[in-house]
Amino acid sequence: NEDLSVDFESLTKLVDYNIENGTGYLVVLGTTAEAATLSAEEKKQVIKHIIKVNNKRVPLVLGIGGNNTLEVKKQIEEADLSEFTAVLSVSPYYNKPNQEGLYQHYKMLASTGKNIIIYNVPSRTGQNVEAETTLRLAREFPNLFLIKEAAPNILQYFDILRKKPEGFNLVSGDDEYTLPVTLAGGAGVISVIGQAYPKEFSTMVQLAFDKKVEEAYEIHNKLVEITRLIFAEGNPCGIKVILAEMGIIKNYLRLPLIAASEGLHAKIKAEMANI
């Protein structure tokens, strides 16, 4: 909201819009949700609100991550996960552990016995969870059943998909890579642009599952330019432009994030007309 309070009305509209247009599951308190600038109490309110609005229509995943392993483990153990299928947990950021440290971090989270999705996003964390580290974790801990992979090198995704053990899979954490990664055997995407175009994006993923390559690439090519634009000044300022233009949300952000520049806003609005 303009007073920077949590906009529950828009949140309701966004959840309904996504579910009604083919989104397969929702991630609660992810990066795009501006979880980093929510208080502990606000996070509880957002969780409660989404559970209520969702009303068991689609599976829910809860974001719980950080760079203090013991604290993240404690939060996972203490969270009421009765309405959630899994926890999405970003790899530790800022303190930049090496590969053994990353392995030990997720090993400790796996000890909670909860279903956990590894999340590798080096552009935000400053450290890449290498393919061999992911595969080592996947082989040893069945409850680490999925990775949201957002490494800049697409070959890393292919390495994991080629060598992964049975029962483990990968979803793209990069909207632009979603189609090639899904065609290579990935399990889809946890998407940013998909929040604004859930029907198109979920159709593209389903076409990829069905190996209808040409039809899938038609949608990919239609969305690729706007996908690049929404990340031009950081996430989620770009996606909020689209959703606000669609009348689903209001375009306010909490510091240190700020709204997209007038120039970017105009470019996004112009590209929306092509979709």
CB 197 within 8 A of CB 160: no
pLDDT at residue 24 in the model? 97
pLDDT at residue 138 in the model? 99
Which pLDDT tens digit goes with each residue over 160-198?
999 999 999 999 999 999 999 999 999 999 999 999 999
Phi, psi angles (nearest 5°) of residue 42: -65, -40
pLDDT at residue 23 in the model? 98
**Residues tagged active-site:** 119, 148
pLDDT at residue 75 in the model? 98
Per-residue pLDDT of the chain (275 residues; tens, 9 = 90+): 999 999 999 999 999 999 999 999 999 999 999 999 999 999 999 999 999 999 999 999 999 999 999 999 999 999 999 999 999 999 999 999 999 999 999 999 999 999 999 999 999 999 999 999 999 999 999 999 999 999 999 999 999 999 999 999 999 999 999 999 999 999 999 999 999 999 999 999 999 999 999 999 999 999 999 999 999 999 999 999 999 999 999 999 999 999 999 999 999 999 999 99
Q: Is the pTM of this model over 0.85?
A: yes
The third-level CATH classification (topology) of the domain covering 8-211 is TIM Barrel (3.20.20)
Domain-wise residue ranges, the chain: 8-211
pLDDT at residue 42 in the model? 98
CB 81 within 8 A of CB 116: no
